[in-house]
Amino acid sequence: MKKILIIDDDEEFCEETAEILAGEGYQVETFSDSLKGLQSAKKDDYDILLLDLKMPKISGYDILQDLRNHGVTRPVFVLSGNPLKELGDQDNASEAFRNQILTHAQGIINKPFDITELLTRLKAILGMSKTLSG
């Protein structure tokens, strides 16, 4: 069974998404506290992370950089209502920031999202990681 970690400060979003993913056969763990989520992401062996970009305490982007700096290579999808506006970037800086995210993550999923799109993207990445790892 594939394990998914969701780190998002919106508890309702975490619960609803976890319920849907569990119904699809995934094992899901959620954290609405970004620091606790980061600790878990570093020590547990998840197959993929769903990571909100804008959160209190530590941003999703900072979590992603921290994980990569510590050699954590598992796939990550960044979740965001608008990743370019959320951190106050403008014009060319926005595109540069988006590209920076995409150097560390498999993609950005805009909220609200179609659950079918999320499931399709998860299946594609998890199938790919299975091939890469074994």
pLDDT single digits (tens) 17-59: 999 999 999 999 999 999 999 999 998 889 999 999 889 889 8
pLDDT at 95: 62
Q: Phi and psi of 76, rounded to 5°?
A: -135, 135
Say yes or no: domain 3-133 is CATH 3.30.590.10.
Answer: no
Write down the domain spans for the chain: 3-133
Q: How far apart are CA 22 and CA 32, in angstroms?
A: 18
pLDDT digit string, tens, across residues 71-96:
888 899 888 876 455 444 444 456 65
Whether pLDDT at 105 is above 60: yes
What span, in angstroms and rounded, lies between the C-alpha atoms of 134 and 129?
A: 8
Please give the model's pTM, rounded to 2 decimal places. Answer: 0.83
